[in-house]
Structure formats: structure tokens, C-alpha cells
Chain A
């Protein structure tokens, strides 16, 4: 069983990729999709698996360096990791690899070298990077024929076969084959464009072994660490002095606040990086005179934290009012029951009772000053934001 190691993607595909199956990362040109195959391979190696990486447009040392950019040292797996070099001969360069394709423009030669490498390795993961370059070199139809052949071969070896494919404007029939027919699973990776591509997303468009969960996730690629599901905007709201700024700082790897005399006058901003998720989190000022800012910030948010000082029941009315001001209804939100360390703090059940919060809204107890409970609150909200309905 193989996991891609890409946050949320495994969930969308029924938990894992079964042996003998094939997966294509179908990438819109210009979008950073090559990392998907690399991350899948590295994750598999880290889990103790074996892997082959077929490089078609980069020298093997460039491939290793590219892995290193993400902090992924594939050198430590040399006993169960093979690079099949289908590049060097193309530019007339020497190669130190054990598996070198003598004539990369001849797909039969690649097939031969790959078969030998698979024989040595036994069952594992085979990643092609990128299949489109192979198509450019050897022709569309020929490549498709060989993909069919390799699929069968991988089934007998119980390999998982993963291809990165850049969707240049090939013949429509070719694209259709790749996108709908040849592979057992298709993950589409695209860009959100308006004059330029400014956001990237992935989503599953086909899975043969499980029910397809059609849901797209924004992502960003970080160096080091790789692909993170990206939540562009989470809002933190709550009454004066409830601990919003403290909460944001506790949960963020970087954060800035604009405070004067101990109260926030503009806003807080933090960047969270936790368990495969990256999020930008924005705090609102607690004082009523800043409510107009709140309205502006409330637009386009993907989720909301409402921070309460659990020891101050008289603030709860104000807190509920702020939630409404932020027009957050309809958005997923989590109530953060902060300052649980104070002696007169109300428990989660008492709070739920007092504020008449329905059971469907989670209340997470925290002590922001000690970073207690803050990541539980984050994970709860992330689950709600990324949940497949």
C-alpha cells in the first residue's frame, strides 16, 4: 500500500494507492506540478519502500539537487532507490548511473533499461518525470502504446506507476486518453489565472479503486518541506482582550501585530505551518470602534476562530455580535474557549449552555499563553474547511 504523502490527497483517494495501480499527475503548463511525483517518491522511500525515478529532461545530479531543495536527501536510500537516466545520452553527457538509456529518443531502449531496473528492485514505486517530454521525443501514439504496456508490467510486479504529465496542447485524443482512460487515477493540477497564474490547486478527477471525492485544494510549494495545502485566509475574532493576538502568535511560525498600549489597533497577521497545511491567519481588533475593519477582513475568509475569555461571561454577547459583524455565518467556525487556566473559567459544557451554541459548532479549550489546545483548534477548523461534503 502506498500513500502519496501529499496532504489531503490520500483522503480524497480512499486512503491509499493499492499495488498494481497507476496514477497520473495531470499538470497545466506553468504550474509547479513536478513536485507531486517527487514528494510521492520521497514519502514512499521514507516509509521503507523502494523506488525508481525515470528522468527524461534533467541530469541525474540535477534531480538529486532538486530533491535536496526540499530537504529530501535521497542519497540515504541508494540501496533501494534507482535513477533511470533517460537524459544524459540526449545531450551527449556522461552518466555515473547504473541504468542509462543509450538512446532516449528510442522508446524501446528506455523500455529495456527500465525492465532491467525493475527486475533488480522488485515491487515498488516507479515515477516518470515527465511523461510529456517522452511524448515530445518519441511521439504521442508510440508513448501511449508503451504506457499501456508498462501498466501491465507494473501489475505483474505489483508496482505503483506514477507519471507527471504536462498538458501541452497535444492532440485532443491524446489528452483524453491520459486524462480519462489510461490511468487508474488522475489528479489534476492547475492554476487560477487572471492575467497571470497566481494560485495553484489540485483535485482528484478519477479513481478506480474508491469513490471519487471531488474537491479541489489550493496548494503552495515551500523550500524546504514541499507541498502544503494552502488556506489563504482564516479570521480570528473575539471580544477585547480575549487573547486573539496571543492565540495567533502561539499558533504561527511567524506573526506580526500592530498593538498600542497592549491592545491591537490595526490587525494581527500570522503564517501557520502545521501537519501539511499552510495558512494565513488574520486577527481583528477587539474594540468596537474598529468594527469597520472587521467587515473588510471578513470577506473571502475560509474559516473563523472566535476567541473567548472563558472567565468573562459578560463578554459573550459582544462575542456573538462580532461573529455576525464578520458575516461569518455560513463559514466554518470554531469557538476557542481561551484562558482555561484562570480559576473562574467556565468549562466547555458550561459555555455551550450559556451561549446556546449548537452541538455542531466545536468549542476547543485553550490556554494561549502556554500554547495549550491551540493546534487542536487549528486541526478542528482545517477539518471543517477541507471536509468533503
Chain B
């Protein structure tokens, strides 16, 4: 199975792949994530987004504000919201937002991911699913590396079995090298972002795509534009 990521020049990746998306703060990682979500929805896939920084409603609002219409695709968009309960917000689950107790509640997060997988694949008969965890960095603030490694070990395995894709966002510069190296063992490829003199560059590794050299990009509104294209 093939998946389109919705990032220019990095279009097709194979099902069963686990990908780490790594970049510094303020480089537009959220925009990348949202583009990946949007591309999946447009392709008729099921999307599972584990959100540790933005609560579920906030995620949906971004799409509204960016004038990306996902209204009719919403039932294929499952959000595991790890924020609302942690902040003590008095909100219950909705059709497409399930709330985990906290970012420490890996058991609960795991159950909710599995439930969305089941809902999309068994009940809605959707063949393709992409799982996005945004971000591992927040999870690492609450749990140690080994714990996150075990968690990811389970779900990268499930991604392979389901022929889905998994994308795991992590901040560069926030963790020591060993942390990144340890988690890298679990993924097949990387999408790397770097900043140099206020300019941003992207490249991919291990995804079988052409984008293996650093290319400069800019964020324009909700879009990622590769320069010199």
C-alpha cells in the first residue's frame, strides 16, 4: 500500500513504515503535522492523531482557521487528546475526540489508539490508517526513555502488521543524543528539519524518496513551499 504524505517532493511512502519527524522549535512542525493529517483525510484514510500539546478542539480549530475544510471527513479523524484532562477541563469524549487521563497514562493512550484502529478498519472498512504522535518530546517530559521506548515498540509493531504508517514528532535540541539514537532504532526512516541563519531546510532518510538532499522551504499560511521549485 502507498501513502501520500502531503509534503512536496516527499510524496509517496510505503505502508508499514514508521517515520520520525525531527526538527527544532518554531520550524513549523505543526504545519507539517497538519498537512500530513489533511493529505490523509483527502485520500480517504483513517487518521489517528495523539495530541499532547493541543487539546482536541484546538486541533480541529486550526483546520477551520486555515480554511482547510475537513467537515465531511471528520468521522475518519480520531484524536487522542492528552491535554484536556491534564488541565482539569470539564469535557467529555466526542465522536472523534477521546481524552486520555494524562500524558503518563500510556495504558489509556494505547487503548484509545487501538479503538480508533478497530473503528476505522473493522467498522468503517477503511484500508489505510496513519498514526501521528505529536509529540514524543512531551511524553518524554512525563515518562523516562525506557518507558516511551516500550510504548513505541508496541505501536511501531502494530503499524507494520496493519500496513499503516506511523509518524512520531520529536524536538531536536531538547533531548540528549542517546535518547534520539534509542528511539531511532524503532523507526524505518526520518524526516529531518534544520534551521540555519533563519532559513529552514528539510530532508528525508530511509523513505525511498528522492528528497535526500537538504532543500530549503518556507511556510506560507498553511502551506509548505519548497524554494527554487
Binding site for B on A (CB under 8 A): 27, 29-32, 34, 56-59, 61-62, 66, 87, 90-91, 93, 130, 132-133, 136-137, 164, 166, 168-170, 191, 193, 195-198
Contact = CB atoms under 8 A, between A and B. Distances in A.
24 contacts: A29-B107, A29-B151, A29-B154, A34-B111, A57-B101, A57-B104, A57-B105, A57-B107, A58-B85, A58-B101, A58-B102, A59-B86, A66-B101, A87-B104, A91-B102, A91-B104, A91-B142, A130-B107, A168-B150, A168-B153, A169-B154, A195-B121, A195-B162, A196-B121
Interface string B103-114: 011111011011
Given A168-B150, A193-B161, A30 B106 contact: no
Given A34-B108, A136-B147, A59 B102 contact: yes
Interface of B: 85-86, 88, 101-102, 104-108, 110-111, 113-115, 117-118, 121-122, 142-144, 146-147, 150-151, 153-154, 158, 161-163
Q: Tell me if B's interface is mostly helix, strand, loop or mixed.
A: helix
B118 A168 contact: no
A59 B85 contact: yes
A40 B84 CA distance: 28
Given A30-B158, A59-B88, A91-B142, A196 B117 contact: yes
A197 B114 contact: yes
Given A57-B104, A196-B114, A197-B114, A30 B154 contact: yes
B107 A132 contact: yes
B110 A29 contact: yes
Given A61-B88, A91-B86, A136-B104, 5 more contacts: A59-B101, A62-B85, A90-B104, A91-B102, A169-B150
Contacts of B151: 29, 168
Nearest to A166: B107
Contact of B162 (A130, A133, A137, A196): A196
Contact of A195 (B101, B105, B153, B163): B163
Name the residue in B86, B106, B113 with the highest tally of chain A Cβ atoms < 10 Å from its Cβ.
B106
B153 A136 contact: no
Contacts of A66: 101
A335 B19 CA distance: 57
A302 to B, nearest CB: 19
A51 to B, nearest CB: 20
A197 to B, nearest CB: 5
Nearest to B149: A169
Contacts of A27: 107
A191 B110 CA distance: 13
A133 B107 contact: yes
A128 to B, nearest CB: 12
Contacts of A58: 85, 101-102, 105, 108
Contacts of A196: 114, 117-118, 121-122, 158, 162
B114 A166 contact: no
A97 to B, nearest CB: 14
B110 A166 contact: yes
B154 A195 contact: no
| Nearest 8 CB-CB pairings of A with B | A30-B114, A58-B101, A136-B147, A57-B105, A168-B150, A196-B117, A166-B107, A196-B121
A133 B151 CA distance: 11
A30 B110 contact: yes
Nearest to A132: B107
A30 B153 CA distance: 13
A197 B118 contact: yes
B101 A62 contact: yes
A132 B85 CA distance: 20
Contacts of A137: 143
A169 B158 CA distance: 13
A170 B107 CA distance: 14
Given A30-B113, A87-B102, A136-B147, A198 B122 contact: yes
Nearest to B163: A195
Contacts of B143: 136-137
B1 to A, nearest CB: 11
B123 to A, nearest CB: 9
A40 to B, nearest CB: 17
A168 B115 CA distance: 18
B173 to A, nearest CB: 24
Contacts of A191: 114
B117 A197 contact: yes
A112 to B, nearest CB: 21
Contacts of A132: 107
Nearest to A193: B161
Contacts of B162: 195-196
Contacts of B110: 29-30, 166
A180 to B, nearest CB: 20
Contacts of B105: 57-58, 133
Nearest to B114: A30
Contacts of B108: 34, 57-58
